[in-house]
Amino acid sequence: MVIAAAHTAARHGNGPASSVELAGRAARACLSQAQVSPSSVGVLINVGVYRESNTFEPALAALVQKEVGINLDYIADPAPAAGFSFDLMNGACGVLNAVQLAQSLLDTGSAERVLITAADVHPGGDARSDPDYPYADLAGAFLLQRSADPDAGFGPVSVYSGDGPSDTEGYLDTAAMGSDGRSRITVRRTEGHAARRSALAAARTAGYAREHGIDLERTLVIGPHAAQDTAVDGAGEPHTAAPILGYLQALAAPRPKDCDRLLMVAAGAGPSAACVAYRPEGW
């Protein structure tokens, strides 16, 4: 399974941001890059966490599917096909969890293509207006499909649990939300959370490399800070879309000498981490 296309979409203008609109823009850009129609996508997995107006129902994946126009009418569509979409919520590790599910779907022939979308938006619609909210209004998308290249694609996804309590919590404080509850969220991070997240990611990266015989000297590691050291649109760091942004930044940069694969690493609340090796086609 390979990444046929990858894109991100950031907020633009001064109006409120929408996680559905941002995810839809990133997804449509992927389909355009890959030159395939929406009806060619069999499954859409949405992994975003934070949403405008704190929307929880219906599943945002269904709204993103409608936004992109994926198999809205499998009888009347010019290329009749059934489409399926669902939400998967596991914070910063969500994209890699979705990659793991996509591998199973493609391996069993349940789908020809899987589209992963990740989008986080401040409940009030503008992360720039809330200096205490840590995440950017940002979306990303991966379009995944089978490859005929036996040397390309993803390795196994490994998911790990860390020790100790969660460093990050995001929740609705019902005692304090008042009449503004639809536009507010409480995010708590313990002191030193970034260092502990980095330590967990480093330990799991080394363990994954040992387990799967990966030479880290020939591997470009896309870690949890790869795309988070720079604020997006002047406000906040990427959250669930960080692996997608990190992947795009890695491809845009000069390729290190003798590098023959990527290793994507995510770490977040739980504490938890996920790792997966990836070799693009042609490497």
Q: Is 266 in contact with 243 (CB distance < 8 Å)?
A: yes
Q: Is 163 in contact with 204 (CB distance < 8 Å)?
A: no
Query: Can you list the domains of the chain with their CATH numbers?
Result: 2-150 (3.40.47.10), 155-279 (3.40.47.10)
Using only the alpha carbons of the chain, give its radius of gyration: 18
| pTM attached to this predicted model | 0.92
| pLDDT, position 282 | 86
| pLDDT, position 13 | 77
| pLDDT, position 132 | 87
Q: What is the pLDDT along the chain (283 residues), one digit of tens a residue?
A: 999 999 999 988 788 899 999 999 999 999 999 999 998 999 999 999 998 888 878 899 999 999 999 988 867 766 666 789 999 999 999 999 999 999 999 999 888 999 999 999 998 889 888 888 899 999 999 999 999 999 999 999 999 987 777 778 888 887 777 777 788 888 888 888 888 888 999 999 999 999 999 999 999 999 887 555 555 665 789 999 999 999 999 999 999 889 999 999 999 888 899 999 999 998 8
| pLDDT, position 230 | 57
In whole angstroms, give the CA distance from residue 72 to residue 145: 21
**Which of 82, 60, 65 has the alpha carbon at shortest distance from 73?**
82
